[in-house]
Amino acid sequence: MKRTKFIQSIITFTALIVTPISVSAKKLFSPRDKGFKVDAGKSHSGKNISLFDGDTFFTKVSGKDTNGDLFVFESIRSNEGGPPLHYHYEQDEWWYVLQGEFLFKIGEESFTAKAGDSVFGPRMIPHAFAKVGKGEAKLLMLFQPAGKMEENFQAISDGITAKMSDEERKAFRKKNGFEVVGPALTYLKQ
């Protein structure tokens, strides 16, 4: 009787240890065995994200496609400006300018970037960017790992954050892995 309970205890203990490891390993090493194409002007999900008037995101690679490893989207902007100075806890961010001109601030460095230029913003470093000039501009943007940025942008697009108080919005940002630490960039063309 004691021997049976001892063996059952070992089996139960082993199952408790092995199950989380096997689930994690499956997530980390699950093969991506199917490619896909996303047409120009379209999102992989079929649903575009609109953050502000004149600002549309087309998801090209969702975090759902990569087990959370990567989130890539094209941003088309018609208005000048951009997000406030902020930083991400766990995501690096990369921008590739497809069209137009942008001002970037990464830490203490400032860059002007035009079509063909790219800018990298490491996690935990405050950064902001702004579209400058007239006409349409386009960016290819990447978050690695994906984190909750896609969900964050979708909630903004769906109007969920518009109904929040400032404190609720601050908590929402923290829950989604980033904090605002300063104002948006302003740019005066000389």
Strand 101-106 and strand 127-132: the pairing is antiparallel
pLDDT tens, residue by residue, 34-82: 888 888 888 777 777 777 666 888 889 999 999 999 999 999 999 999 9
Residue 25 has pLDDT above 80, yes or no: no
76, 141 Cβ separation under 8 angstroms: no
49-184 topology per CATH: Jelly Rolls (2.60.120)
Q: How high is the pLDDT of residue 137?
A: 96
74, 138 Cβ separation under 8 angstroms: yes
99, 40 Cβ separation under 8 angstroms: no
Q: Taking the model in full, what pTM does it have? A: 0.78
How far is Cα 82 from Cα 166, in angstroms, rounded to an integer?
19
Domain boundaries, the chain: 49-184
